[in-house]
Structure 1
Amino acid sequence: MPSRLLMIEDDARLASMVGEYLEQAGFAFAHQGDGASGLAAVQESAPDLVILDLMLPGMDGLEVCRRIRSLPGAAASVPVLMLTAKGDAMDRIIGLELGADDYLPKPFEPRELLARIRAVLRRQSPGAAPTQPVLRFGSLEIDRDARTVTVAGKPAELTSYQFDLLVTLAERAGRVLSREQIMEAVRGRELEAFDRSIDVHMGRIRAAIETDVKHPKRILTVRGVGYVFARQQD
C-alpha cells in the first residue's frame, strides 16, 4: 500500500506539479489549499506525512504545525516536512521548535523533496530490528522497536526526528560527535556546516529527558565540536 502524503499549499500550480511527481514515484497524494482545511484533513485521515507550506492564508504553517502536535491520537505524531522561504532561518527554527521533523527552503528541486520524504518515512518504518531493541541508561529507556522513550517510567514526548537524533547519540555513548556527523547519520547526507537547527532539536530532547535542562547530565555539549551522550547511570 503506497504511503499517503498530504500537501498543505496555497499555490495550486505548485501543488499540482509536486503531486504529479510524487504519484509517479509511487505515493498517494492529496492537497489542501489552506491551513484550516489541511488541519481538518490531518485529523480525519492521519496521512503518513504532511508537506506543510509556511505561508498560508488565514492560518499560517507555524500555527498549523502547532495544532497538529496538539491533536488527539495518532494524528499528533504525523511527520511534518515544512516548506520555508529561502534563507529564513528564524521561521525554520520556530517550525522545528513546534515539532516539524524536517524543512526544505523554497524554491526546491522535486528530487530533493522526494529524498527528504523518503528519509523521514524510512525513519518512521525502520527495517530489521536491532539485536538490543531497548537502550537503558539508568532511569532512561529508549525502545528502538516501539520508538518510545521513557524516563523513570514516564513517557518523554519527542518527534520522529528527535527520537532518531537521540538514538544516534545513545548508540555511540561516550563518543563525541560533530553536528555534521549527527545529522549525516540521521538524514544520510551532509548538511551545511553552519546549519544550527541541530541545536534546536537538542534543546527539545534535553527538555524531554533531562532533570535539569540548564545542567544536563545525559546530552553534553562539547564546545566547538558537537555533542556527546554521557555513559553514567543515574
Structure 2
Amino acid sequence: MKRILVVEDEESIRELICLNLEKTGFTVLGAGTGEEAVEIFTREGSSIDVILLDIMLPGISGLQVCKQVRQLSSTVGIIMLTAKTQEMDKISGLMLGADDYVTKPFSVSELMARVDAIYRRVAMSGGGQTSTLHYGPFEMNLKSRVLRKNGDPVELTQVEYQIMELFLKNPDTVLDRMEILKSIWGENYYGDDKIIDVNIRRLRMKIEEEPSRPRHITTVWGVGYRFKA
C-alpha cells in the first residue's frame, strides 16, 4: 500500500493535494503543523513511504521537521514545498536530507510526477538484486541497499544511495552533471540541477575523511564528477 504524509498548513492546498494523490492510489495522511507531522511520523513512520513537506509552517518549520524525520528514518522519501524566494531554504532542506523540492506555485501534474518518482525510488529498497558492488574501501549490497566503507555502514538517503550506486558502477569515469541528473531524477526533471551539487556535498560529508579536500568524489570542472578509490 502506498502511503504519503502531506504537511501543509493551508487547508485548501492540502485538500487539493490529498484529493489528487488519492486518485493515483495513495493512502494519504494530512498534517497542518510541524508538530503534528512529527507526531504522526513518530507513530506511523514505518508505514509511510513519502512525505510532502511545506517549509513555511506554524510552530516548528518544515526544515526542522525534515531534520527530525531524517533522524528517525533514512529511507522515507521527502519532497519540500518551497516558494520561489526561498532559495537558501531549498539548499538547507536538501542538506538536511530532503530528496527533492517543488516550487510554489506548481502544477498538479508536475507534483504528482515528482511524488511518483520518489515513491518508485523508495519502493526499490524493498527488494531487487542480490549482488554486491566492491570498489576500494566501499562495498554496496544491492539487496539490503546498504553501503559500507572499511566495513562500517554509511547511512544514506535514497537519493544518496542512488548516486553512490551510479558511481560504484562507473568507477574512475567522469560523469557529467546532466548524466547524473537524468539517471537519478529522470528524463523529465523540472527542477534546478543544483540539486546534484547539494547531494554531492552531503555524500562527501559522509564518506570523505576531509570533505573540503575530497579524495573519492572529485570535481571535474566544467563537466561533472569522478568517483575513485
| 1:86-112: CA deviation from partner (whole Å, max 9, x where unpaired) | 253211000000011111111111111
1:61 lines up with 2:62 in the alignment: yes
Alpha-carbon contact 1:84-1:104 (below 8 Å) kept? yes
| Cα contact 1:183–1:190 (8 A) shared by 2 | no
SS in 2 for 1:199: helix
Amino acid at match of 2:202: R
Aligned to 1:15: 14
3-state secondary structure, aligned to 1:125: helix
Residue 124 (structure 2) pairs with residue 123 (structure 1): no
SS of the residue 1:80 aligns to: strand
In the TM superposition, 1:155-170 aligns within 5 A as: 155-170=153-168
5 Å matches for 1:186-225? 186-189=184-187, 191=189, 195-225=193-223
Once the two structures are TM-superposed, the CA of residue 191 in structure 1 deviates from its matched residue by 4.7
Query: Quick one: distance in 2 between partners of 1:199 and 1:187?
Result: 13
Deviation larger for 45-54 or 187-196: 187-196
Once structures 1 and 2 are overlaid, which stretch shifts more, 187-196 or 218-227? 187-196
Alignment check: 8 A CA contact 2:102 2:191 kept: no
SS of residue paired to 1:22: helix
Indicate the RMSD between aligned Cα atoms, in angstroms.
1.9
Identity of aligned residues (%): 36
Deviations 1:183-228 (A, max 9, x none): 1101112557963221111011112112222332221110111001
Classify 1:89/1:70 alpha carbon distance in 2 versus 1 (closer, same or farther; 3 Å).
same
Structure 1 residues 68-92: Cα deviation after superposition (integer angstroms, max 9, x where no partner): 1223xxx453221110112532110
Structure 1: which amino acid aligns with 2:193?
D
Counterpart contact for 1:87–1:105, Cα < 8 Å: no
Match of 1:49 in 2: 50
What is the match of residue 103 of structure 1? Answer: 101
Give the aligned residue type for 1:164: Q
Q: CA separation of 1:37/1:18 partners in 2, compared to 1, >3 Å: closer, same or farther?
A: same
Partner Cα separation in structure 1 for residue 101 and residue 209 of structure 2 = 29
Mean Cα displacement is larger for which, 164-173 or 9-18? 164-173
Query: 8 Å contact 1:50–1:80 — kept in the other structure?
Result: yes
**Aligned residues, how many?**
226
Q: Which runs of 5+ in 2 are unaligned?
A: none
Amino acid at match of 1:226: G
Task: Give me the TM-score of the superposition, normalised by structure 2.
Answer: 0.92
Change (3 A) 1:11 1:142: same
Structure 1 residue 143: Cα displacement: 1.6
Q: Which amino acid aligns with 1:51?
A: L
Question: 2: distance between equivalents of 1:106 and 1:69?
Answer: 23
Q: Which residue of 2 aligns with 1:85?
A: 83
CA positional deviation for 1:142: 1.4
